[in-house]
Amino acid sequence: MNKTWLITGCSSGFGRALAEQVLQRGDKLLATARKPEQLADMQARYPETCQVARLDVTQLPDIHAALEHVQRIFGRLDVVVNNAGYGLLGALEEFSDEQMRRNMEVNFFGAVQVIREVLPIFRAQKSGHIINMTAAAAISNYAGFSIYGASKFALEGLSESVAAEGKSLGIKVTCVEPGPFRTDFIKRSMERAPASISDYENTVGKFAGFLDKMDGKQPGDPTKAALAIISCVDAEVAPLRLVLGKYAIDKVERSSKMRLRELETWKEVGLSADGALA
């Protein structure tokens, strides 16, 4: 059965790759972006199954209009992908307040608003799948990604709760955790701190250099990532987390082992905090 999708941030990267694969397989799509004219070529190639709309996830009227549009044109909505977002690189004390709040507003609260507005639709039809694009930084974070990683950790925490709330209502939630993929994220979608403090050169500076050297050479293929996401949507039992690429899979394994080792080391101290009730 063909599905109807709404994907945010379709102008490039994962959003664009997923939109292309969704349309190629014959599903219906409302492709959205802050600049919808960048999606005109997709609509021209798939005039029967692709609609485009402006959607800035920080603007509630845009969200309302997009959801009304997709239901009016296609009659239903099955999958919502929260893909819109951007990176923020620098040491925590290097960022301005405005930079930090804006990153959280787009990456976290933008997705929250989309989810809140789509939940009544999914509840009414007793089905629906919410896909939240997070990051390897939500597996374990890096020096230089304090705010960006925090926004993705927050989205994962929210997703766990929404998945529990929606399970009996036919609503599925999946966080997609991609490793490094050959998108334009580093070059096009990465904001950097305006100042540089020399004390952080061996931590944040080293990580920034790693990202710059990796750009264009990432092992992940965005088209294959899109196909993996589609297979997750098609599955009868969808995962809460879909980890994409060897880099991210290895990172989950390392992080899990590290947490277990630390837990074992400090278990007795933790257990000592319990006390008998009077």
Phi and psi angles of residue 83, each rounded to the nearest 5 degrees, phi first: -110, -25
Mean pLDDT, to the nearest integer, of 237-265? 98
Is residue 133 one of the residues assigned to a domain? Answer: yes
Is residue 254 one of the residues assigned to a domain? Answer: no
Residue among 256, 260, 265, 263 nearest 139 (CA): 256
Structure confidence at residue 276 as a pLDDT band (50, 70, 90): confident
pLDDT of residue 108: 98
Is residue 197 one of the residues assigned to a domain? Answer: yes
Catalytic residue among 86, 148, 200, 247: 148
Structure confidence at residue 152 as a pLDDT band (50, 70, 90): very high
- Is 148 a residue of the active site? yes
How do residues 157-198 score in pLDDT, each as one tens digit? 999 999 999 999 999 999 999 999 999 888 889 999 998 899
The one-letter code for the residue type at 262 is E
Whole-model pTM: value is 0.96
Chain centroid, CA 266 distance in Å = 33
Is residue 61 one of the residues assigned to a domain? Answer: yes
The total domain count for the chain is: 1
What pairs with residue 79 in β-bridges?
5, 129
Structure confidence at residue 51 as a pLDDT band (50, 70, 90): very high
How do residues 37-50 score in pLDDT, each as one tens digit? 999 999 999 999 99
Task: Please report, for the domain that includes residue 221, its CATH number.
Answer: 3.40.50.720
Is residue 266 one of the residues assigned to a domain? Answer: no
How do residues 245-257 score in pLDDT, each as one tens digit? 999 999 999 999 9
Is residue 264 one of the residues assigned to a domain? Answer: no
**Tally of CA atoms within 13 A in the half-sphere of 4 that contains its CB:** 18
Q: Which domain holds residue 238?
A: 4-247
Query: CA separation (Å) from 132 to 77, 121, 271?
Result: 16, 17, 35
Task: Round the average pLDDT of the chain to a whole number and report it.
Answer: 96
Is residue 261 one of the residues assigned to a domain? Answer: no
